[in-house]
């Protein structure tokens, strides 16, 4: 197996997989080609009806492609293909697109191409990558996060979108796209990741000179705090940049972010809060940070030595077991699995609720442990 785990852990993971297989097949048949986000009264709506290119709209398709790869059940493939086709209008409309093109098209078109070789999917992925590359800001050497009225902002989340550029660079033998991804990752090494392994969410640059200006609070508690999902993006994103480039600085950064995350999660018995540097009360959880970090830790473990590997795999297992113990609901008639995901610290409407990407990362982590996954990033 890719990850050396004890037999008890393997049996536990296999048991979780059995429940995932039942639940996600029911959801596939019920939800179909919607683009779910947060369920209401246990039922998913269609976020695409409100915003076709909302940043989470690829994650349900990512779940479907992971399930198709693991089971070869055509129902997952056919539903994912419908979502992919719906997103074509987003490329055509263009104006609403931002730095999150990777979250949208890696989990749809690129996943399709990797698993089926569909040439139209390849073109969709390359189109999305070209738009992402076009957001590169030479002054400051970063990929701009958002659009009009939010100039000069780069965010830690974008590290997870860089694989779209790495993939496109390999497909087209385009060193320019690879250089853009590397430039952004290098910027993150300097301004997003801190020496202790914590991370800023937002950093702001002067749009004319590229001078670093500020690190606003973003979705965490405040400026200088430690928003945990941003921490998980840093672990996983830097590990992925190392996968594609072999640049040791990225591996070292991923380790630093991982050690910081593990130490802070351990203090709270692996129940991950929204921000590691928020007041002790009230306690607000973010399970999406935990499951994304678990995937990042497993990714990171693939690039370290034999005696270092168990640190990351065991920490991932502890995070995942805690999710199973406290934050999962398995009723096949109710949409979503992982509860207590949080969009941001200071917003009640999406704090401690089920969120679609929590289910995606939980599934990916379990499939990784069982060697049933494929690299979607």
Q: Which residues contact 78 (CB under 8 A, 6 or more apart)?
A: none
Task: Catalytic residue, from 100, 286, 324, 335: name it.
Answer: 100
- Residue 213 contacts residue 152 (beta carbons within 8 Å): yes
Task: Catalytic residue, from 93, 98, 112, 157: name it.
Answer: 157
Among candidate residues 154, 163, 153, 96, the one with its CA nearest the CA of residue 125:
163
Query: E strands within 43-179?
Result: 136-137, 142-143, 153-155
Pairing assessment for the beta strands 136-137 and 212-214 based on DSSP bridges: unpaired
- Residue 143 contacts residue 131 (beta carbons within 8 Å): no
Q: What are the φ/ψ torsions at residue 211 (nearest 5 degrees)?
A: -70, 135
Residue 157 annotated among the catalytic residues of the structure: yes
Question: How wide is the angle at C-alpha 231 spanned by C-alphas 226 and 232, nearest 5°?
Answer: 150
Residue 249 annotated among the catalytic residues of the structure: no
Burial 232-264 (b: 16+ CB within 10 A, else e): bbbbbbbbbbbbbbebeebbebbbbbbbbbbeb
Distance CA 160, CA 163 (A): 7
Report the catalytic residues.
100, 157
């Amino acid at each position: 197996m890719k990850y050396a785990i004890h037999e008890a852990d393997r049996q536990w993971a296999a048991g979780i997989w059995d429940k995932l297989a039942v639940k996600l097949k029911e959801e596939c048949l019920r939800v179909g080609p919607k683009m779910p986000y947060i369920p209401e009264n246990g039922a998913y709506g269609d976020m695409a009806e409100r915003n076709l290119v909302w940043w989470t709209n690829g994650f349900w398709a990512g779940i479907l492609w992971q399930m198709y790869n693991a089971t070869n059940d055509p129902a997952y493939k056919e539903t994912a293909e419908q979502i992919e086709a719906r997103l074509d209008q987003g490329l055509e409309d263009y104006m609403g697109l931002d730095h999150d093109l990777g979250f949208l098209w890696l989990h749809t078109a690129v996943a399709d191409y990797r698993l089926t070789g569909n040439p139209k999917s390849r073109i969709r992925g390359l189109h999305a990558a070209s738009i992402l590359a076009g957001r590169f800001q030479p002054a400051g050497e970063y990929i701009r996060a958002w659009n009009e009225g939010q100039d000069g902002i780069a965010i830690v989340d974008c590290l997870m979108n860089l694989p779209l550029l790495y993939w496109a660079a390999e497909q087209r033998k385009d060193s320019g796209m690879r250089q853009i991804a590397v430039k952004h990752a290098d910027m993150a090494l300097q301004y997003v990741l801190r020496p202790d392994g914590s991370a800023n969410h937002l950093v702001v640059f002067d749009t004319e000179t590229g001078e670093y200006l500020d690190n606003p609070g973003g979705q965490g508690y405040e400026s200088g705090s430690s928003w945990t999902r941003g921490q998980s993006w840093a672990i996983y994103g830097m590990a992925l940049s190392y996968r594609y480039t072999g640049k040791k600085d990225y591996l070292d950064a991923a380790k630093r972010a991982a050690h910081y995350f593990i130490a802070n999660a351990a203090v709270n018995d692996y129940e991950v809060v929204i921000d590691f540097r928020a007041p002790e009360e009230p306690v607000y959880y973010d399970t999406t940070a935990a499951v994304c970090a678990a995937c990042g830790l497993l990714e990171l473990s693939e690039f370290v030595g034999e005696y270092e590997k168990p640190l990351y795999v065991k920490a991932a297992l502890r995070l995942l077991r805690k999710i199973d113990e406290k934050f999962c609901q398995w009723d096949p008639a109710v949409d979503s699995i992982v509860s207590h995901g949080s969009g941001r610290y200071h917003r009640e409407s999406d704090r401690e609720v089920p969120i679609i990407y929590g289910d995606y990362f939980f599934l990916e982590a379990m499939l990784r442990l069982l060697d049933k996954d494929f690299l979607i990033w």
